[in-house]
Amino acid sequence: MGRCTVACSTPLSVSVLTLSHLVFFLTGWMFLHLVFYNTSKGFMGKLLFSLTFTFNLSMFQLIPFEIMSVLPEETRLSNWQIALPLTIISLIVVLPLSQFYFALCDRGWGYRLRTVVFTMILFGCYLWVFWHLGDQFPRKLVNGT
């Protein structure tokens, strides 16, 4: 089986995926609006939550789609190849960066440059801890190394 991109998918399957992602995003957005009516701060928090919710449900929807053969295999594979890296980037990079930045902004650090510098320092510490936690797990040996 050759490597497939979204271009080889049928228009119907692309529209099904687009519609489901839109429904997931709007569901996440409305959940924040209805449950945390006035307590949610700003546009960026809602956007990040809704995107993370969409990425995770996108991968979850692949399970019933695979069992019921709802979409062509190429489309499901393309969705997996797009959703998995986006989810990993969101969970490991974007969400911690935004949490560090907004936590420092809420503390009243004043200067934006100083906030960004300390955000990068905290993010570097986070990545160092994340990397060293991962060293405890066994790795698959490649070519005997």
Q: What is the pLDDT of residues 5-54, one digit of tens each?
A: 545 568 888 888 889 999 999 999 888 888 876 665 678 888 888 999 99
Write the pLDDT tens digit of every residue in 95-145: 999 999 988 887 776 678 888 999 999 999 999 998 888 777 776 666 655
Write the pLDDT tens digit of every residue in 75-93: 888 888 988 999 999 999 9
CB 95 within 8 A of CB 48: yes
Q: Identify the pLDDT of residue 124.
A: 95
Query: What is the pTM for the complete model shown?
Result: 0.74
CB 5 within 8 A of CB 72: no
Q: What is the DSSP letter of 21?
A: H
